[in-house]
Amino acid sequence: DTAVSQTPKYLVTQMGNDKSIKCEQNLGHDTMYWYKQDSKKFLKIMFSYNNKELIINETVPNRFSPKSPDKAHLNLHINSLELGDSAVYFCASSQAGTGNTIYFGEGSWLTVV
């Protein structure tokens, strides 16, 4: 009965590779997010989609490309991975009009070697 689920949980890959992280929410929310949390614990929003439409696109390298096939899914594809991409990536969702309480997935630990 996981509300926000993301896969994989752990990912170790070499520099230059391309990888994807998938996310699904079963809460019926209309908004989904990708956050990046670095080693200093700073949570930075990367993207936000509302009903499949991109509404927030922070300053993120264009190697990162989100895709939302429907409002329950938001995937993150990363091209040409770099060492600095190593971080925990959290998918999250919320419902507009409810104070935007955010529900997070468990996180995907990405390590680039």
Partner 1 sequence: QQPVQSPQAVILREGEDAVINCSSSKALYSVHWYRQKHGEAPVFLMILLKGGEQKGHEKISASFNEKKQQSSLYLTASQLSYSGTYFCVGNAGNNRKLIWGLGTSLAVNP
- Shortest Å, Cβ 69 to partner 1: 20
- Shortest Å, Cβ 35 to partner 1: 8
- Tell me the C-alpha distance between 74 and 64, whole Å: 13
CB atoms within 10 A of CB 54: 12
Contact present, 89 and 35 (Cβ < 8 Å)? yes
Nearer to partner 1, 9 or 63 (CB): 9
- Shortest Å, Cβ 100 to partner 1: 6
Q: Percent helix, strand, coil in the chain (nearest 5)?
A: 5, 55, 40
Nearer to partner 1, 43 or 82 (CB): 43
Nearer to partner 1, 15 or 27 (CB): 27
Q: Which residues bind partner 1 (CB under 8 A)?
A: 31, 41-45, 48, 50, 55-56, 90, 96-97, 99-107
Q: Which residues contact 40 (CB under 8 A, 6 or more apart)?
A: none
